[in-house]
Structure 1
Amino acid sequence: MPSTPSAEGQATTPTQSRVVRIFKLLGPGIIAVLAWLGAGDLITSSVAGANYGYAMMWVLAVSLLLRYLIVNIIARFQLCNNQGMTILQGYAQLHPFFGWFLLAYALLMGHLMNAYMIKGAGEALAMLFKIDYPLLCSVAVVLAVWMLVGRNIYSLIEGVMKALLAVMTLAFMALALMSGPDVTGIIKGTIGFSIPPDEGVHGALLVAVSVIGAVAGSVANFVHPYVMRQKGWVGPEHKRVQRNDLLFAVFVGIIINLAIWIVGAEILRPNGIEVNTLADLGKALEMFFGSIGWYIFFIGVFATLFASIAGKTTAFPMLITDAFQQVKPERRERFGKEFHHDPMHKWFMLFILVTPLIWSLPGMPDFVTLTIGVNALNIIGLPVISLGLLIMSNQKSLLDKQYRNNILENIALVFATGLALWVAFQLGVDLFT
């Protein structure tokens, strides 16, 4: 006698099951997009578009391509190495320098990236509630994140924030289409490979370095392997779905970054609006959609920043604890492989959430300048990250031939190392002459 299907089985059609499976598989990619799409992308793309039109579009194209290649190689190494290593273990086994560098780099950038996001979230909240004390709003954001992260209610709040982020993203995409983008200008800017003369408060080279840092060199690119691990993607059998998932994430990132850039080039630049504050960027939506556009922007920005702060406060301590345990291996033997079992994990979380508040004090750099400066600093880590990745992703002792880099991937990593060193040198020359 055939078994009677369960109520759950009766309520789920084959089509519904297929849709559910697809959404479950795309989880890490969606989380990666939310981790990447912070104030860095929002500010650097809008400033580049508003100040320089499409002249530096090639910087965004190169950065997005490098992001895909670097993150894909990082993910593939973690999935396919024959020792079951995390990506940080892979770096640490090359030389102790990599473990110490990545520990210091993750601590520094975790602090600084949360610094501009907490400052921006406080300013957005102050604008929405017409409060003249953004520092108090930043403190409220930090307290809210600390109380909510890791608790059951947070998943609901995170869902609301993602929905608000989606509304703002759709508004920017609609605005980009309505503005009638110059396709010829976009193509010329993408293949132009030139740095235009400085315009506005932020120099062209600094903006270019900030775009590269925010996209290709961001330490947030290391978040993806930890999300994969939580998802249960731990072996070579997950390599194909990981790659497709990452392609989806990068494609969404391209659309969003391009929309923001177009808004800067087609609306802000012709109207002589420089992006020096959040309010300047909000003018674009306000000009086309009225007061509702203003609210969509600031609510969306707050949602973006709050979700990013919470995400980094959750993910960065795992990265930092992993790096710490590479330089102090006895801690992993003592506390096991679950990072949150290590008491230092909570202290690292407190460090990257609370200490950034000093950047919200009166007299500190404004939000836009801080965002561009911090993302430009990401370039410091790119040569070390790409060079180390180049070595370990070609190690015969750890990876079978089919999982090692092909010639194009090796060329891309060499190019990323050279590009980072060149722009860092040029920026140094520009600052000291």
Structure 2
Amino acid sequence: MTSMPSLDHQATAKPQNLFLRTLKLLGPGIIAVLSWLGAGDLITSSVAGANYGYAMMWVLAVSLLLRYLIVNIIARFQLCNNQGMTILQGYAQLNPVFAWFMLIYALLMGHLMNAYMIKGAGESLAMLFKIDQPLLCSVAVVLAVWMLVGRNIYSMIEGVMKVLLAIMTLAFIALAVMSGPDVTGIIKGTIGFSIPPDEGVHGALLVAVSVIGAVAGSIANFVHPYVMRQKGWTGPQHKRIQRNDLLFAVFVGIIINLAIWIVGAEILRPNGIEVKTLADLGKALEIYFGPIGWYVFFIGVFATLFASISGKTTAFPMLITDAFQHVRPGRREKFGKEFHHDPMHKWFMLFILVTPLIWSMPGMPDFVTLTIGVSALNIIGLPVISLGLLIMSNQKSLLDKQYRNNLFENIALLFATGLALWVAFQLGVDLFT
């Protein structure tokens, strides 16, 4: 006779099963972190910390808060609108101009964001294999992504990349703790709201704009609702798990960004190391962990960039195809709601994966400069995105009262619009005077 499980065993089994179910449900947020992190957060946070210490920590704090609010509102609209609209359809119903804007903007930024990531992945691979052929390595990265994306083997590769990313992240967190961060300096920088005098190669205002663009203004924030859709989260019943999943993702993002910033402020800055190349950032881990730290950094950076390139090559074409089908509505009727059925979807994938290779050719801007410049360009789209979101997330015809914005969210979207316009104006004045 089989014995019955003890009460103690049943009591412990329930929490374990709940924990495993929760881990299984978490997913879009993890993919969002991989898509967000990339080189943008890595370079902008390290450059800001290395050049300006904690003086501009407020920029990171504001950007992370805005990222959570903007992505949460985007996700809530897609889950809770009574017409079953995607986020792009929500923008398009406001005015056809939004569909055109999102089509052109997503194509441009998909190309440019993959440009610095492919360049960085190629340089990382060249450093690891100690060969002076970064362009050849970038081509290898593009070929590998194209062969793996959309195939069953990619899920296994992605799992390996996540482990490598986790190792690098833990190394940065350990390094940040070991360096003895100046908590008082962090607090002062978070509430300081000041732009310090220029230091190093990249001006303070440009760095501030690149942080805001890489974090709050990134069009990669639109990846989240499309990944939710693939996960099967399609209605108001998924609102709670979506919010918790996003909170988890943002929390992980805060830890990673803060650790990288602290490394820049506490290790690179005191040692007079400016982040001009990937190797400069790798020196931080090498100083504390020796040669193994150098390898952990470059393996982790390659994993981060490879996963981000794969994520953007998978998710961006969905947004682009969605926008294209609004500009050409007959295509949705012909090919249905599954974006990959539209032949243009594969061409969009090829465009944002292959054309960025031109930025890896000799004579193009270096990796750090390209990353900061492209991250700063994200600020162009933030006013349009936040204003459009402000209008559509308050539409009574599409959203019941409990799903519309509260006062704080409306103020935050207005603030994001004002902040983007102000920094863009200041940057323009700074460049032309």
TM-score, normalising length from structure 1? 0.97
2:94 maps to amino acid: L
Alignment of 1:10-409 (within 5 A): 13-409=13-409
Alpha-carbon offset, residue 291 of structure 1: 0.2
Deviation sequence 1:320-375 (CA, Å, 0-9, x none)? 00111111111101100000000000000000000000000000000000000000
- CA offset at residue 16 of structure 1? 3.7
Q: Deviations over 1:196-241 (max 9, x none)?
A: 0000000000000000000000000000001111111111111111
Deviation at 1:150, TM superposition (A): 1.0
Read off the aligned partner of 1:98 and give its amino acid letter.
F
In the superposition, the TM-score normalised over structure 2's length comes to 0.97
Partner of 1:65, secondary structure, is helix
Q: Separation in 1 of the partners of 2:95 and 2:15?
A: 50
Tell me how far 1:24 sits from its aligned partner: 1.6
C-alpha distance after superposition, 1:216-272 (max 9, x if no partner):
000000000011111111111111111111111111100000000000000000000
Moved more, 158-167 or 147-156: 147-156
2: CA distance, partners of 1:79 / 1:153: 30
Aligned counterpart, 1:412: 412
Query: What's the secondary structure of 1:38's corresponding residue?
Result: helix
Q: Name the CA distance, whole Å, in 2 between partners of 1:299 and 1:247.
A: 28
How far apart are the structure 2 equivalents of 1:148 and 1:235?
Answer: 31
2:184 is paired with a residue whose SS is helix
Q: How many positions carry a matched residue from both structures?
A: 425
Amino acid at match of 1:310: S
- Structure 1 position 14, deviation (Å): 3.2
Gaps of 5+ in 1: 5-9
Is the partner of 2:220 in helix, strand or coil?
Answer: helix
In 2, the alpha carbon distance for the partners of 1:177 and 1:39 equals 22
CA distance in 2 between partners of 1:240 and 1:314 (Å): 26
CA distances 1:266-322 after superposition (whole Å, capped 9, x unpaired)? 000000000000000000000000000000000000000000000100000001001
Kindly state the Cα deviation for residue 15 of structure 1 after the two structures are TM-superposed.
Answer: 3.9
SS at match of 2:374: helix
Q: CA–CA distance in 2 between the matches of 1:25 and 1:17?
A: 12
Matched with 1:7 is none
Q: Distance in 1 between matches of 2:64 and 2:261?
A: 14
Of residues 153-162 and 112-121 in structure 1, the stretch that sits farther from structure 2 once superposed is: 153-162
Question: Deviation at 1:13?
Answer: 4.2
Listed one character per residue, the Cα deviations across residues 38-81 of structure 1 (whole Å, up to 9, x for unaligned) are 10000000000000000000000000000000000000000000
24-33 or 174-183: bigger deviation:
24-33
1:416 shift after superposition: 0.3
Q: Secondary structure at the match of 1:37?
A: helix
Mapped partners of 1:71, 1:16: distance in 2: 30
1:27 shift after superposition: 1.0
Q: Say which SS state the counterpart of residue 318 (structure 2) adopts.
A: helix
Cα distance in 1 between the residues matched to 2:367 and 2:168: 20
Q: Distance in 1 between matches of 2:251 and 2:81?
A: 27
Moved over 3 A (4+): 12-16
Structure 1 CA distance for aligned equivalents of residues 401 and 276 of structure 2:
50
Q: Tell me the SS of whatever aligns to 1:194.
A: coil
Q: In structure 2, give the amino acid aligned to 1:273.
A: I
Shift of 1:25: 1.8
Instruction: Return the alpha-carbon distance in structure 2 between the equivalents of residues 397 and 156 of structure 1.
Output: 44
Q: Secondary structure at the match of 2:55?
A: coil
Q: Which position in structure 1 is the counterpart of 2:7?
A: none
Moved more, 237-246 or 284-293: 237-246
Q: Which amino acid aligns with 1:246?
A: L
Q: Distance in 2 between matches of 1:307 and 1:33?
A: 10
After superposition, what is the alpha-carbon deviation per residue over 1:163-203, rounded to whole angstroms, capped at 9, x for unaligned?
Answer: 00000000000000000000000000000000000000000
Give me the whole-angstrom Cα distance separating, in 2, the residues matched to 1:308 and 1:30.
12
SS in 2 for 1:405: coil
Aligned CA-pair RMSD = 1.3
Q: Cα offset for 1:17? A: 2.2
